[in-house]
């Protein structure tokens, strides 16, 4: 009789075991790390130099922990942003007219161009405290992670197959239930892969986020980024190598502990069957399944979240909708006219300011620099596509190959382009090469992986029956690529190309200028123009460069990327 009253989690099958003890020790260690980091964040800024970065490798483990915590804090903010901003843009056609162009600009305009303003804002929230600088660093990393994940969620929600939509209507799911039982599961595989590449992309901003300058105050936040920046400034190659080794260890740790289990878990949401040999479960997932008490707790949490996702919130499909006072087309026309009017008013105000501040020759000069940067961006995206689209298809069609190369791709994606600066500067100076040509690859080094990860995600979900039909019809060689492979991955590829090109624009401000000690190189382009104006503190010219960059990005996205994305979704999405 007594056993009946025992809680379920105290039953024989859920008694703690050695695996539970190990998991508990890991969680306690994580809690100690978070508490230590929180104590440092609340410390006051007591000197012009808030921290001194030591190049002794013994300091690197502590620096690595601080950097990793900042990156995961930014990743959490990116997930929250994705599930609000991207969902709103996908579910509201009128809101998308504003939100999508704004997202185009945000992912392309370099955060470094207005980093000073964001630092002042966060420092003002917590004056005299390191917490303000920490929030500014997290926000900077956030800007290199959020846009890619938001675009992935937006494209996935717009590409839900119509037959699955019909099934949801047939079951009478409310809007809330449909979102959590259809929309989110459909978007999970692509979102997990893009979260990995976003985490890797955050390493590009680490150097800039952990080195803060406000007026006469220089703040070096302890981390791998500030360590790398100090090593480059002091031309210490050994310190750079130590930083690379520390990055390798950190990426290997969160790949094994988090992302590999997440990729394996996301595989359950795939909409297409595959005839490839299933990959074995990651060791971390196997260990978690061997726990007893922890597994019971996580199962209870999962059941609770499932119950919340099943709440009958919102309107059901069969319920009559309220008839609007005005026809939908008339509302759309009025909304579009209002947006067009506001845009024209903003452009007119910008034109008045620009005409009073800058000469016509300078405006044309900046526009010409924007054209040069555009040519570099498109050349690099094309080159990266020629390399990584075939490689991504080859990897994605075999889950075993995809998982084996996952860590290598993550590490290469996380490798900051700043660490290549010494190599490029030394070679360009030694061989008297053109900076306009040989600095260009730095723009795509950190963003080309968006293409690879999206293509791998697309190839991983390729329908097995379609591949079988192609084999039965003996479709091989160039015909297989043109009729089967490339059309099948095109929607995901476009998403990756959009984010890669946006990231290249963002990286232009750092990639068109490179330094190694006292050697400084610069290419002719809009990124170098903004970088020089930022160093000089010339906010007017920074604003001009960023405005011209935003116009280039919006026009190119509207003329090329968005029509291509709509075409790919209409004609090549699997339904």
pLDDT tens readout for residues 255-285: 888 888 888 888 777 665 555 555 567 777 7
| Mean per-residue pLDDT, 414-423 | 67
Q: Is residue 314 included in any domain, yes or no?
A: no
Cα distances from 92 to residues 84, 158, 432, in angstroms, run 12, 11, 54
Confidence at 76, pLDDT banded by 50, 70, 90: very high
User: What's the domain count of the chain?
Assistant: 2
308 found inside a domain: no
Cα 96 to chain center, whole Å? 20
- What are the pLDDT digits (tens) for 388-408? 999 888 888 887 777 677 667
Contact 236, 54 (CB under 8 A): no
pLDDT tens column, 428-474 = 777 777 878 887 887 777 678 878 888 887 888 777 788 888 888 88
- The mean-pLDDT minimum among 224-233, 245-254, 330-339 falls in 330-339
522 SS3 class: strand
Angle at 424 between CA 422 and CA 427, to 5 degrees: 105
Question: Running DSSP on this structure, what letter comes out for residue 42?
Answer: T
Q: Are 411 and 506 in a shared domain?
A: yes
Measured between alpha carbons, how far is residue 374 from residues 151, 364, 366, 384, 521 in Å? 21, 15, 12, 15, 20
Q: How many residues in total does the chain contain?
A: 575
Q: What is the mean pLDDT of residues 183-212?
A: 81
Query: Does residue 348 form part of some domain?
Result: no
Indicate the DSSP class of residue 44: B
Q: How many CB atoms lie within 10 A of CB 411?
A: 18
Question: What local confidence, expressed as pLDDT, does residue 114 receive?
Answer: 60
Does 246 lie in the same domain as 385? Answer: no
Query: Are 412 and 554 members of one domain?
Result: yes
- CB 206, CB 141: distance < 8 Å: yes
Q: If you average pLDDT over residues 53-67, what whole number do you get?
A: 87
Neighbours of 312 (CB within 10 A): 10
Domain stops at, among 249, 283, 317 = 283
Res. 9: pLDDT tops 60: no
Residue 218's beta-bridge partner residues?
49, 213
> How many angstroms separate the most distant Cα atoms in the chain?
91
What is the per-residue pLDDT for 159? Answer: 79
- For the ranges 145-154, 194-203, 408-417, 566-575, which has the lowest average pLDDT? 408-417
Lowest-confidence region among 14-28, 492-506, 521-535, 536-550: 14-28
Which of 229, 256, 283 lies at the terminal end of a domain, its last residue? 283
Domain CATH code at residue 468: 1.10.3720.10
State which of 121-125, 473-477, 570-574 shows the largest mean pLDDT.
473-477
Place of tokens 């903010």: 77
Residues 248 and 368 in one domain: no
Residues 262 and 377 in one domain: no
215: containing domain = 18-271+278-283
At residue 403, what are phi and psi to the nearest 5 degrees? -75, -35
Examine residue 350 and state whether it is found in any structural domain, yes or no: no
pLDDT, mean of residues 1-19: 54
Tell whether 44 is covered by a domain.
yes
What is the percent of the chain with per-residue pLDDT over 90, rounded to a whole number? 5
Tell me the C-alpha distance between 128 and 45, whole Å.
5
Last residue of a domain, one of 253, 283, 313: 283
Q: In terms of domains, do 403 and 545 share one?
A: yes
Mean pLDDT, to the nearest integer, of 318-324?
A: 56
Q: Is residue 430 in a domain?
A: yes
Spatial CB neighbours of 226, under 8 Å, sequence gap ≥ 6: 51, 53, 63, 207, 210, 211, 220
What is the distance, to the nearest Å, from the Cα of residue 476 to the centroid of all Cα atoms in its chain? 35
Dist CA 224 CA 62 (whole Å): 9
Q: Is the pLDDT of residue 81 over 90?
A: yes
What pLDDT does residue 313 have?
A: 76
Cβ atoms within 10 A of the Cβ of 288, count? 16
Residues 75 and 222 in one domain: yes
Closest among 406, 147, 71, 454 to 261, alpha carbons compared: 406
Inside any domain, residue 330: no
Q: Which of 113, 147, 145, 119 is nearest to 134 (CA)?
A: 119
Same domain, 266 and 362: no
DSSP letters spanning 441-483:
GGGTTTTTHHHHHHHHHHHHT--HHHHHHHHHTT--HHHHIII
Is residue 171 within 8 A of residue 507, CB to CB? The reply is no
Helical pair 539-556 and 328-357, crossing angle rounded to 10 deg: 140
List residues bridging with 514 in a β-sheet: 521
Q: What is the pLDDT of residue 3?
A: 46
Distance of alpha carbon 390 from alpha carbon 42, whole angstroms: 49
Same domain, 184 and 81: yes
Q: Which among 295, 117, 142 has a CA at the least distance from the CA of 212?
A: 117
What confidence tier does 2 reach under pLDDT thresholds 50, 70, 90? very low
Question: H or E segment at 570?
Answer: helix 562-572
Give the C-alpha separation, 489 to 567, whole Å. Answer: 13
Ranked by mean pLDDT, the top range of 160-174, 291-305, 306-320 is 160-174
Cβ-based neighbour number of residue 229 at 10 Å: 20
More confident residue, 184 or 280: 184
8 A C-beta contact, residue 424 and residue 514: yes
Judged on CB neighbours under 10 Å (0-12, 13-18, 19+), 75 is buried
Distance CA 87, CA 90 (A): 5
What phi and psi values does residue 219 have, to the nearest 5 degrees? -120, 120
pTM (predicted TM-score): 0.74
Alpha helices by DSSP H, listed for 358-415, are 360-396, 399-404, 406-414
Same domain, 221 and 366: no
Residue-averaged pLDDT of the chain: 78
Q: Is residue 294 part of a domain?
A: no
Same domain, 266 and 390: no
Whole-angstrom Cα distance, residue 78 to residue 15? 37
What is the residue-wise DSSP string for 306-362? HHHHTS--S--TTSPPPPPSS-HHHHHHHHHHHHHHHHHHHHHHHHHHHHHHS-HHH
Residue 77 pLDDT > 90: yes
**Whether the Cβ atoms of residue 366 and residue 545 lie closer than 8 Å to each other:** yes
Band of residue 27 on the pLDDT scale cut at 50, 70, 90: confident
Element (H or E) spanning 516, and its range? Answer: strand 513-516
- Compute the distance between CA of residue 428 and CA of residue 514 in angstroms, rounded to an integer: 11
- Other CB atoms within a 10 A radius of the CB of residue 520 amount to 10
């Amino acid at each position: 009789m007594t056993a009946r009253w025992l809680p379920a989690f105290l039953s024989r099958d859920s008694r703690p075991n050695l695996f539970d003890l190990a998991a508990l020790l890991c969680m306690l260690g994580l809690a100690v790390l978070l508490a230590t980091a929180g104590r440092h964040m609340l410390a006051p800024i007591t000197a012009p130099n808030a921290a001194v970065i030591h190049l002794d490798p013994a300091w690197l483990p502590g620096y690595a922990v601080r950097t990793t915590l900042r990156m995961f804090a930014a990743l959490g903010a990116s997930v929250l942003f994705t599930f609000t901003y991207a969902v709103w843009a996908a579910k509201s056609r009128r809101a998308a007219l504003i939100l999508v162009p704004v997202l185009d600009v945000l992912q392309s305009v370099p955060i470094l161009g207005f980093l000073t303003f964001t630092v002042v804002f966060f420092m003002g929230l917590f004056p005299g405290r390191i917490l303000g600088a920490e929030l500014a660093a997290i926000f900077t990393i956030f800007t290199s992670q959020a846009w890619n994940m938001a675009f992935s969620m937006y494209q996935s929600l717009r590409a839900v197959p119509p037959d699955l939509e019909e099934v949801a209507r047939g079951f009478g799911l409310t809007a809330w239930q449909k979102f959590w039982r259809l929309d989110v599961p459909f978007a999970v595989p692509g979102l997990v892969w893009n979260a990995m590449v976003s985490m890797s992309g955050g390493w590009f901003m680490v150097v800039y986020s952990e080195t803060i300058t406000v007026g006469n105050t220089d703040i070096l936040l302890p981390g791998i980024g500030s360590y790398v920046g100090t090593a480059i400034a002091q031309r210490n190659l050994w310190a750079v190598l130590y930083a690379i080794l520390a990055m390798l260890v950190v990426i290997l740790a969160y790949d094994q502990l988090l992302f590999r289990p997440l990729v394996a878990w996301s595989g359950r949401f795939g909409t297409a069957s595959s005839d490839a040999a299933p990959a074995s479960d990651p060791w971390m997932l196997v260990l978690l399944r061997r726990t007893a008490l922890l597994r019971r707790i996580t199962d209870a949490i999962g059941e609770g979240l499932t119950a919340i996702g099943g709440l009958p919130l919102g309107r059901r499909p069969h319920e009559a909708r309220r008839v609007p006072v005005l026809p939908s087309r008339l509302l759309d026309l009025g909304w579009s006219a209002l947006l067009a009017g506001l845009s024209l008013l903003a452009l007119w105000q910008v034109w008045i300011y620009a005409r009073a501040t800058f000469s016509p020759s300078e405006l044309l000069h900046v526009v010409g620099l924007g054209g040069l940067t555009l040519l570099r961006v498109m050349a690099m995206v094309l080159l990266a596509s020629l390399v990584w689209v075939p490689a991504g298809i080859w990897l994605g069609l075999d889950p075993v190959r995809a998982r084996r190369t996952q860590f290598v791709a993550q590490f290469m994606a996380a490798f900051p382009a700043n660490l290549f600066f010494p190599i490029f500067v030394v070679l360009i100076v030694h061989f008297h090469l053109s900076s306009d040509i040989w600095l260009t690859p730095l723009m795509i080094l950190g963003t080309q992986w968006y293409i690879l990860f999206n293509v791998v995600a697309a190839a991983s979900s390729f329908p097995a029956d379609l591949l079988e039909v192609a084999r039965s019809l003996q479709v091989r060689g160039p015909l297989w690529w043109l009729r089967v492979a490339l059309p099948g991955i095109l929607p995901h590829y476009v998403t990756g190309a959009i984010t890669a090109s946006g990231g290249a624009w963002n990286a232009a401000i750092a990639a068109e200028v490179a330094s190694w000690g006292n050697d400084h190189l610069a290419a002719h382009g809009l990124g170098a123009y903004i970088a020089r104006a930022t160093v000089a503190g010339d906010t007017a010219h920074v604003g001009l460069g960023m405005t011209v960059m935003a116009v280039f990005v919006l026009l190119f996205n509207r003329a090329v990327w968005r029509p291509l994305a709509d075409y790919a979704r209409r004609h090549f999405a699997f339904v």
